[in-house]
Amino acid sequence: MSSATTPPASPASAGSGTAAAGNPTRGRWGLVVAALLMQLSLGAVYAWSVFSSALQKAAAFKLSKPEATLPFEVAIGMIFIGTYIGGRIQDRRGPKIVALIGSVLYGIGVIVASFARNGDQLPILVIGYGVLAGFGLGLAYIVPIAMLQKWFPDRRGLITGLAVGGFGFGAVVTAPIAQALIKNNPDVPTAAFLPLGIAYLIAAVVGAFFFRNPPEGYTVPGWTPATSGKVVDSGRDYTQGEALRTWQWYALAAILTLAVLAGIAFISQATTSFIDISGYTAAAAAAAVGALGLFNGAGRIFWAAVSGKLGRMTTFIAILAIEGVCILLIPHVHNAVLFFVLAALVYLCYGGAFGTMPATAGDFFGVKHAGGIYGLMLIGWSLGGVVGPLIAAALIGGDKDYSSAYTVIGIIALVAIVLPIITRIPRTRQSASEGSLGAGSAGAARR
């Protein structure tokens, strides 16, 4: 592809998906801002622990821990369904319509949850926050990831990191606001969902309104697609069906699953780990876990940017290795500062898996059908998000055996390093260079 062949578009047509006159990339950073606005709203789902605690204490609810967790678990399960459907529709109909529908469903779902006023109305919480909001979240979440890769072929790693980084920071922004709203009406904490749902709806819809794909034949002036090296930017675009017929798609899905499993296994037990292992008070542990949300968001941006320099597979080797070593060390560290540092690295790598994989999928299969291909790959989010906490809870048990639990989880992460070592880009996306995605140079890509 040559950027010299890209015709300039008229300013009047820029809003409909064509490039601005004289500069096809004009306005693309505005799309990043719009994506971040929407993702901050969607990422508020990770602030559920604030509501879970309140729902267990509130006189009108008095939910058990499993009951208070149920709406969140349903939401996480619905995300995968939403990303799968949303990715396929986006590839056919464009990003704006999918993002708008997803944003509206997400906001309405949170608003519906506000109508649950006592423990007997738990089904309203599950339907509103879990089913409606979770499905809408999945629809909208996949859109900016696929869209921005098309606008930024020259910065694919960094830009997908930014696209999901906003999601990671969502809980950091929302948690203190939600806590303040709950404090105003502690007997009915669900009342906080009404103003939050309205705010989410407005912010997400405003962001989604500006979404559009680049025009046909779009290229970045002065940028030439790489045909070899650590990151490959050229080759044919796979359809979702074609991607699913390659072994590489399953390898990438497994890498994401195992990176998420290891990270979220610790994250699910982070508060009690701070208290039981390193002697934090309950208040200090809560503050520490809140601060760690910053590393979740920052990791998505940091590792995605790093992957453009090191190579995607080399980056995943580093993510899994750091996760594994830190989790192995954590049960034996009683120094408060060192414990926080190790926990921060786990959070950084957990976020990094989400930040790096979208660009990796784009390298392997192209970006034309990225919504469907990566949307389906997010099954790793659901699998890892369910299996990791179950393993941790079962092994820790009532005896608080953190050493056994974290040893098993750490070993899982370290063994998983084999996958990025052996995984290579499909032959039709790889030119003369062997091992073009880092992690060594032995062996050509094979289907």
Report pLDDT digits (tens) over 286-322.
788 888 889 998 999 999 999 988 999 999 999 999 9
pLDDT at 353: 95
pLDDT at 233: 56
pLDDT at 268: 82
What is the number of residues in the chain?
447
Give 20's strand partners.
23
Q: What is the distance between the alpha carbons of residues 341 and 347, in angstroms, rounded to a whole number?
A: 10
What mean pLDDT do residues 261-265 have?
Answer: 92
pLDDT at 324: 97
Can you state the angle between helices 156-184 and 282-310, rounded to 10 degrees? 160
Report pLDDT digits (tens) over 326-344.
999 999 999 999 999 999 9
Q: What is the four-CA torsion angle of 378, 382, 383, 386, rounded to 10 degrees? A: 160
Q: What is the distance between the alpha carbons of residues 180 and 99, in angstroms, rounded to a whole number?
A: 29
Nearest to 301 by CA among 359, 346, 370, 381: 359
Domains of the chain, each with CATH number or no CATH: 1-224 (1.20.1250.20), 228-447 (1.20.1250.20)
Nearest to 159 by CA among 168, 167, 151, 170: 151
Output the pTM of the full model.
0.77
